[in-house]
Amino acid sequence: MVATSDNLLRRMARVNPTRAFIVALALMLAGLFLPGIVGAALLFLLAAGLAALTITTWPVQKPSTRTLRIVMLALLLAAVIAKAV
């Protein structure tokens, strides 16, 4: 399991940050503009990815970064709930 996690972290480190930002931004905008449950599902996928990234990198992040990520995750989940209702 450690080897798989290590390989995943190495692949994530090679991702172009600009491309990752643009993909995340496009997914967020699509989730906000698409109606109802479809938009909520896209936002939920984005929240799941952010949660996975936060859990994976938690030990090496500063407390201020941890706080910011938790706040962003909470806001995104609030948007999911608002979109689904």
In the chain, where the domains are located: 2-84
pLDDT score for 47: 94
The answer to whether the CB of 46 falls within 8 A of the CB of 79 is no
Instruction: Give the pLDDT band (50/70/90) at residue 4.
Output: low
Q: Which of 3-17, 22-36, 42-56 has the lowest mean pLDDT?
A: 3-17
Q: Each residue of 32-70: pLDDT tens digit?
A: 999 989 999 999 999 999 998 889 888 889 999 999 999
Q: Is the model's pLDDT at 22 over the cut of 80?
A: yes
28: Cβ contacts below 8 Å, ≥ 6 apart: 43, 46
Identify each DSSP E strand in 8-63 by its residue range: none
